[in-house]
Amino acid sequence: MAEGIVGGILGDEEERPELENMESSASETLAGADPFAATIVHQQALYSPEVAHEASKFLQIQTQHVEIQSRHVHVQTKLLKDEHDLRLAHLRNQLSEETVRRLGLRLRVSFQIFLAAVATAIGITGAFMVHDAVLSRSVIIDAFELSPNLVMHVPSGKIIATGLFDVLARIQAATRTSAERRSLSNAWTNDIGIEVPETGISVGQIERTLKARFGHDQHINGDVVQTETGALALTVRGTGILAKTFTDADHNLDKLLNDAGEYIYGQSQPGLWVNYLTNAGRNDEAIRFAQTAYPTVDAPEKPYVLNYWANAIIGKGDRGAMQEALPLYQETLRLKPDYWGGYNNIIYALWNMGSEEASIREGEHLTQMAGGRPGRAPETMYQNYDQQLWDLTAVRAESIADMESHDGVGIFASFSGSANLQVAQTESLLHDIDSATLRVKTTSIDEQSAPDVAIATLTKALLAEEVGDIKQAAKEWDAFAVAYNNPTVSTSNAPYLCYAAPAYEKTAQSAKADAALNGPLKANGTGSFVDCYRFKADVLDLRGDWAGAQSWYTKAQQLAPSIPSGYYSYGMALVRHGDLKKAAEQFRQANLTGPHWADPLKAWGDVLMQQHLVADALEKYDEAVKYAPKWKQLTQARLLAVKARG
């Protein structure tokens, strides 16, 4: 850049004009001196030798003078040239120094900006660290102390802490819930290798110091000793946790760590611990722990303890379990009005108690409290509400989302069987035979789990009915009836046994049909379910008691006017009896209360086709396809309507 500037200012072509003029003048003088002298000498020599002699001397002197002048000019020219070179070098030096000065200034400014950016980043990082420290509610495992005589059996206290951490992590992973879980960490895991200048303190140490000052972490530590009898004794203690010692004469360290881990988890996360026990089928332990812990747990934990306490009661399945659990669920909402899982569980309890209209009102309350749909409440918390309204596409999506967000098992799988099998059941009700069949085949069914067996056989029965194999359906219902004898199944899936009654009646097993209809009342003391009423009406119709059937269809609608299935079943019966006008009205009511249920729309379209209202029928079919896109009979009916329309 400096060379360009110098060249642009000075210009090489106009570098020395005065020197060139002087040299030109001197050259002209020297060039003209000899001819002039020669002319004078020549003229004077013609007339006077003396004059010629003097003139010659004069010309010699003059010539010497010119030579001196020429040498003087050359000296001046050289001096001017040297002076010019010096000025040019000086100017270039000045420009070079200015460039260096400017570059240095820019570097200083850039470095200052860099330092400011680093300081800002450090400040922001510090602010985040303080913020995280204030909100921190972690369980931190510190290294344990070991007695000297245990070196051969237990290498280090860090190994004990790591083993305890693994137990806690395993328990937490098995806790299927939407409730907040406290993070777990070892005390040494945050030693980030960045040192703070001139202090030698790591970022991890600073973070721990901030959390110790501002956070709410629970630190767990303890010791391992050998007792006088030779047993291994592991003592654990921590922030807000009473010290407790676990001993084992066989030096079974894994057992000690498991027992200690369960104790710590229960003390640090009582709500989730109750849930863990319930998921593991240890309902009696869960209930005892909840009863003992609830009075002393922190206020934020109380709704969770109550919720999982109620779940444990339902898990046991004693007679009247839903009635006992319901007040606990309701108390969770008094303590925490935005406890969305509490709403979902209340809907579930009311449904299985036979208070289905009340469950619909609770679903509406949930929607209102959440600010509409979508709103503050996760869509997964509407599963039971949507099931009541037969919004099966939503139920399927919610079940899959729940399953995917909770390690593939879902948070509702404890009482109702495998989450994947629940999706298969919903797909069978959506008439998606292929998807439901594949899901059942690819799901590992725990034959020792009554809920798993129940939901699997129920789904298989529905699929058999879908393809018209009523005998096979009746056999699957037999298997379901056996599983239904388990209190957990009958309490949590109360109305489903009534679904078996029409298949039994069609296969000439009337006694089984009656037993199925009375099953919920016998098991739970409640038989007032819309499904049981409408299927009893179907059985009476199959037996030729049309008047009795109509009475029970009406009772089903009166029992829960907001549930669409009572209207749908009555409409299908009216079609069988040829009363298309009344049937269409029933389907209209079913669609009004369950607008996202495909079955009433298809049935309505079928009636309209019989009335030769093809365009109207096609409209119903098109609407139904939105909610059951893989229903083969629906697709065929729609194609016939398209052909009939021309």
* 3-class SS of residue 612: coil
Considering the entire predicted model, what is its pTM?
0.74
Render pLDDT for 237-252 as a digit per residue (tens, 0 to 9): 988 788 999 999 988 9
201 has a pLDDT exceeding 70: no
> Looking up tokens 């009523």, which residue turns up?
470
Render pLDDT for 19-37 as a digit per residue (tens, 0 to 9): 344 444 444 444 444 454 4
- Residues sharing a CB contact under 8 Å with residue 566, sequence separation 6 or more, in sequence order: 530, 533, 534, 553, 556, 557, 559, 560
Mean pLDDT of 342-359: 97
DSSP conformational letter for 371: T
Q: What is the pLDDT of residue 205?
A: 58
Phi and psi, residue 298, nearest 5°: -60, 155
Confidence grade of residue 492 (pLDDT, cut at 50, 70, 90): very high
Q: Percent of the chain, pLDDT > 70? A: 73
Q: What is the pLDDT of residue 436?
A: 97
204 has a pLDDT exceeding 80: no
Please, which residues bridge with residue 238 across strands? 220, 241
Confidence grade of residue 52 (pLDDT, cut at 50, 70, 90): low
Query: Over the chain, what is the mean pLDDT?
Result: 83
Confidence grade of residue 142 (pLDDT, cut at 50, 70, 90): confident
Mean pLDDT of 457-465: 98
Q: Percent of the chain, pLDDT > 90? A: 55
- Residues sharing a CB contact under 8 Å with residue 77, sequence separation 6 or more, in sequence order: 19, 22, 23
> Looking up tokens 């209809």, which residue turns up?
517
Q: What is the pLDDT of residue 80?
A: 63
Q: How far apart are CA 164 and CA 261, in angstroms?
A: 6
Q: Which of 74-83, 303-312, 637-646 has the lowest mean pLDDT?
A: 74-83
Q: How far apart are CA 248 and CA 266, in angstroms?
A: 21
333 has a pLDDT exceeding 50: yes
Confidence grade of residue 115 (pLDDT, cut at 50, 70, 90): confident
* 3-class SS of residue 220: strand
244 backbone φψ class: left, alpha, beta (φ>0; ψ -120 to 50): beta
Give which of 583, 574, 494, 503 is closest to 539, Cα–Cα: 503
Say if CB 419 and CB 399 are below 8 A apart. Answer: yes
> Looking up tokens 């098109």, which residue turns up?
622
Pairing of strands 241-248, 232-238: antiparallel
46 has a pLDDT exceeding 90: no
197 has a pLDDT exceeding 60: no
Task: Tell me the torsion sign for CA atoms 168, 169, 174, 177.
Answer: positive
Confidence grade of residue 5 (pLDDT, cut at 50, 70, 90): very low
Q: What is the pLDDT of residue 190?
A: 43
Render pLDDT for 514-566 as a digit per residue (tens, 0 to 9): 999 999 999 999 999 999 999 999 999 999 999 999 999 999 999 999 999 99
Q: What is the pLDDT of residue 48?
A: 52
Confidence grade of residue 147 (pLDDT, cut at 50, 70, 90): confident
Residue type, 173: A
624: its two tokens: 């139904």
HSE, side-chain direction, 13 A CA sphere, residue 641: 26
Mean pLDDT of 217-231: 86
* 3-class SS of residue 235: strand
Cis before 17 (ω within 30):
no
72 has a pLDDT exceeding 80: no
Say if CB 215 and CB 449 are below 8 A apart. Answer: no
